[in-house]
């Protein structure tokens, strides 16, 4: 069943095709040539059957092939007819027809035919050699699944429907030592439906959803001879990419069945976003969502449903990826703001209603400096396989910490530097120097309530209180503890001025 995941990968190739379908020059032949070269720069092997007449190029049986990185398999996409037609004003119109079939295959393990449809689409290419622009407008674009084969078996009832309405996009391409491609796109709404049933029965998957007010932008720099199987070389030669997609209100519903086990659910959000950046020096992923609501039920869930809400969710990760002796920035942000669960869940966790049922919050923001001593984008290199220490940590800052749950609120900040020349004092770790300051409000009250609920035995609670007394002191306000932990470069550790080690 490993190849089922390739459905998503194949759709990604179709999306790529749509985003690059018309890099234009002043004639139809030059537009097609530039598009062909772009796809080749992206690592595709390309074949087609072309015919040219006065002011027009017709491309039939366009085939794109690429070996999947780290896999002994090749993906193949065959497209229907595409025409490039001079409009007499220095621009070129590109047309796919009202419906265009697309055939996708992955060796003998996977194949699918999809129909790309459009209503009232205008796709116009303009500009000059080396500096081209492409504009698309469409009241509606659709993608539907015509047939599907997985692991040699036909999936007769598979459904994929994707509908994009009010699509407007612009793509600009500049060619020099690198090909720089920049794209912006807006979509009024996206609706989708996906259904899959395993031949012979037993497994069924159904998903449908929608999102509104989609905005996307991206930029990619492509070196000649790009090979994703040699990512380190591609980055060294200038490959770089970044992009962001943001959307307004959206949601989805799903239901599954797996040999008698069932599950269904729904989710909605007020807005969300995803972004990505990558170049020779760094990699970054981030995402956010606001106003999330979800409900899940199923045969293995011991409740009518699991319902929760998250007012604000954020994930952001930045890390260096280049081999260098110079420390670079890294960071990590994880936030779950105002997480609340349904009364049914509280009734199971806290039948005595001993705890406050206020929303919980987790917020962690870290930053610092680090560097790699090996090229992590070349995992097959000898140095990657033999390195004792792949990287060095130079600094770590706890910019924000908050964990609020069950009536207790833990906050803190901290800052440390690390001596990579001293790997003995802390048993192989670079010796840290710095301090962290923590504050806990309501900790004793939470512990008392956990004892009442029977979740923490009295003897274990005593041990917890002893540890709190060792590392913390009373602060201002009722049930408030503070702690300042200091680590010295010589290996000594202090808690609130008292030496522990």
pLDDT digits (tens, 9 = 90+) for 339-359: 999 998 998 888 888 899 999
Angle at 20 between CA 17 and CA 22, to 5 degrees: 115
- Per-residue pLDDT at 69: 67
Helix (H) or strand (E) holding 412: strand 408-419
- Per-residue pLDDT at 21: 39
How many residues belong to the chain? 501
Q: Which residues of the chain have pLDDT under 50?
A: 1-25
As a whole number of Å, the end-to-end CA separation of the chain is 54
CA distances (Å), origin 63, targets 47, 103, 105: 5, 9, 11
- Per-residue pLDDT at 391: 94
Q: Where are the beta strands (DSSP E) in 259-390?
A: 261-269, 271-278, 282-298, 306-320, 328-341, 360-372
Eight-state DSSP code of residue 5: G
The domain spans of the chain are 281-406, 420-501
Task: Give the pairing of strands 203-222 and 179-197.
Answer: antiparallel
């Amino acid at each position: 069943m490993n190849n089922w995941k390739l459905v998503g990968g194949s759709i990604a190739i179709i999306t790529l095709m749509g985003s690059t379908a018309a890099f234009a020059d002043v004639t139809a032949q030059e537009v097609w040539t530039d598009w062909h070269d772009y796809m080749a720069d992206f690592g595709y092997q390309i074949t087609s059957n072309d015919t040219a007449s006065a002011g027009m190029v017709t491309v039939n049986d366009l085939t794109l092939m690429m070996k999947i990185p780290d896999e002994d398999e090749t993906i193949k996409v065959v497209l229907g007819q595409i025409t490039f037609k001079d409009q007499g004003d220095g621009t070129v119109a590109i047309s796919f027809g009202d419906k265009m079939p697309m055939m996708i295959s992955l060796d003998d393990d996977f194949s699918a035919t999809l129909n790309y449809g459009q209503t009232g689409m205008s796709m116009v290419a303009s500009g000059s050699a080396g500096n081209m622009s492409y504009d698309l407008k469409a009241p509606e674009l659709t993608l539907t699944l015509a047939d599907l084969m997985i692991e040699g078996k036909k999936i007769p009832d598979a459904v994929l429907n994707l509908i994009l309405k009010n699509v407007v996009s612009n793509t600009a391409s500049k060619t020099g030592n690198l090909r720089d491609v920049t794209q912006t796109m807006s979509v009024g709404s996206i609706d989708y439906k996906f259904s899959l049933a395993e031949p012979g029965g037993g497994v069924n998957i159904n998903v449908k959803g929608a999102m509104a007010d989609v905005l996307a932008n991206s930029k990619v720099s492509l070196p000649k001879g790009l090979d994703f199987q040699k990512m380190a070389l591609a980055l060294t030669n200038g490959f770089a990419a970044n992009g962001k997609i943001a959307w307004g209100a959206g949601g989805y519903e799903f239901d599954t069945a797996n040999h008698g086990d069932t599950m269904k659910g729904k989710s909605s959000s007020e807005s969300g976003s995803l972004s990505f950046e990558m170049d020779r020096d760094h990699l970054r992923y981030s995402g956010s969502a606001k106003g999330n609501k979800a409900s899940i039920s199923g045969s293995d869930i011991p409740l009518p449903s699991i319902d929760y809400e998250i007012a604000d969710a954020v994930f952001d990760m930045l890390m260096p990826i280049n081999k260098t002796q110079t420390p670079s920035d890294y960071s990590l942000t994880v936030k779950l703001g105002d997480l609340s669960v349904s009364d049914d869940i509280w009734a199971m966790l806290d039948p005595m209603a001993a705890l406050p049922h206020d929303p919980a919050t987790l917020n962690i923001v870290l930053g610092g400096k680090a560097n790699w001593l090996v090229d992590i984008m070349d995992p097959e290199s000898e140095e990657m396989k033999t390195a004792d220490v792949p990287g060095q940590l130079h600094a770590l800052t706890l910019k924000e910490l908050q964990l609020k749950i069950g009536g207790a609120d833990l906050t803190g900040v901290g800052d440390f530097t690390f001596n990579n020349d001293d790997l003995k004092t802390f048993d192989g770790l670079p010796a840290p120097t710095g301090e962290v300051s923590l504050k806990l409000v309501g900790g004793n009250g939470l512990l008392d309530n956990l004892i009442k609920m029977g979740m923490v035995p009295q003897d274990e609670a005593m041990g917890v209180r002893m540890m709190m007394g060792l590392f913390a002191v009373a602060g201002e306000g009722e049930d408030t503890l503070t702690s300042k932990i200091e680590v010295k470069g010589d290996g000594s550790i202090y808690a609130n001025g008292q030496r522990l080690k």
